[in-house]
Structure formats: C-alpha cells, structure tokens
Amino acid sequence: MDFKSRIDPSRNTVGSIYRDAQISGEKGVVIGDVNHEIKKDLVKDINEAIEQGTKEMGDKPFYLAIYEKYDLMLKRGLVRIRKITKYRPYPEQDSMVFHAFPNGDVYFCWELPHRSQMLNMLMNPGLFDETVLDPIRRWENMQLEYFGFTKDENGNWVENMFYQGDQLMGSKDGEKKVKIVMI
C-alpha cells in the first residue's frame, strides 16, 4: 500500500506516521491539527469531485455524497470521503449531498451533522436557524419524503423520480445560487 502524501510524495501521510508511532511505542509524537486545512478545502473537494463525476458519468446526472467524520484513532483527525453515485444516496449522519447534471447545473440536496451534534441542536433550538433544524427533525422522524424518497408497493424507501425539492447552487448559465449554511 502507498502511504505517501499526494501533495508531497516525499512525506508519509499523517495516518501512517501516527500508526507507525503507535506500533513502535514511540512517546511524545505530536501530530499537527490537519482539520483547518481539510475544512478550508471543502469547496475545492466538492468542485474536484463534480469534475470527476462529470468525466465518469459522461452525459448522465449523478449524485455526489461528501461524508465527514472524526477519525477515532487520531484525536483531532477529520476524514472526508467523496462518493459519486448514479442513485440518490440514503440520508445519513455526517453527510452532504449534491445532484449534478451534464449541463452544469448543481443542486444542493441536504447536509446532516453527526448524531451527537443533531441531538445537541434539537435540545437547543434557540441557538440554530430553523432551516438547519428542519432537516434534522425530519430525519429523526423518518420523513424521508423530505430527502427525495418515496415508498414503493412493498413499503421500501426508493428514490422519488418526481422530487423537485433540491436547491440550485449554480449553473454554467450563471443562474441563481443558494447560500449554504455550514454547521
């Protein structure tokens, strides 16, 4: 396996340095806080993933799911995973989902924080905007229609092909853009 940095191939990744230090029993190893750099590059990662999805999917629309979670091995390590799919992903904690079309239109579907953050937000509704709390309440109540799903004849949740609730973020034509509130 390759544990070299993609940015600077002469350096190992933070995870491999930490793992090697744990295995060898090294004391006093300080791993820098990479969260600031990862958070700063969210928009760049979204744009790169949309470009990648456009190349992979060609003339077909696709979904981009961004999953962010804190790595349990690293005290302050944030992991970002990008997934490109043909089908609408199921709404999960720590997820942000976009729907991209070949004509350049990109729609924001939803963003859900970590479960512990959701509970804290719901217990302190006065501290958060209603537009942030509404999706969390609907997720908690299994109101998946809000996220673009419907039940089939067997009672299973499936993608609603007629759903139009996603918000346009931007397009090649320079149409209206939606401001995303980061939690």
Residue 59 inside a domain? The answer is yes
The pLDDT tens digits of the residues spanning 60-95 come to: 999 999 998 876 666 667 778 899 999 999 999 999
The pLDDT tens digits of the residues spanning 99-152 come to: 999 888 999 999 999 888 899 999 999 999 999 999 999 999 999 999 999 999
pLDDT of 181 reads 42
Domain encompassing residue 38: 33-170
Residue 80 inside a domain? The answer is yes
Residue 11 inside a domain? The answer is no
The pLDDT tens digits of the residues spanning 35-50 come to: 555 666 788 888 889 9
Q: What's the one-letter identity of residue 86? A: K
Residue 25 inside a domain? The answer is no
C-alpha to C-alpha distance for 41 and 37, rounded to whole angstroms = 6
pTM: 0.72
Residue 117 inside a domain? The answer is yes
The pLDDT tens digits of the residues spanning 143-180 come to: 999 999 999 999 999 999 999 999 998 766 655 444 44
pLDDT of 75 reads 64
Residue 102 inside a domain? The answer is yes
Residue 87 inside a domain? The answer is yes
Interacting residues of 95 by C-beta distance below 8 A, sequence separation 6+: 65, 66, 67, 89, 110, 111, 112
The neighbouring-strand residues paired with 95 are 67, 112
Domains of the chain: total:
1
pLDDT of residue 96 exceeding 90:
yes
Residue 28 inside a domain? The answer is no
DSSP code string of 84-139? EESSPPPP-TTEEEEEE-TTS-EEEEEEE--HHHHHHHHH-GGGS-HHHHHHHHHH
Interacting residues of 146 by C-beta distance below 8 A, sequence separation 6+: 135, 138, 165
**Burial (0-12, 13-18, 19+ Cβ within 10 Å), 91:** buried
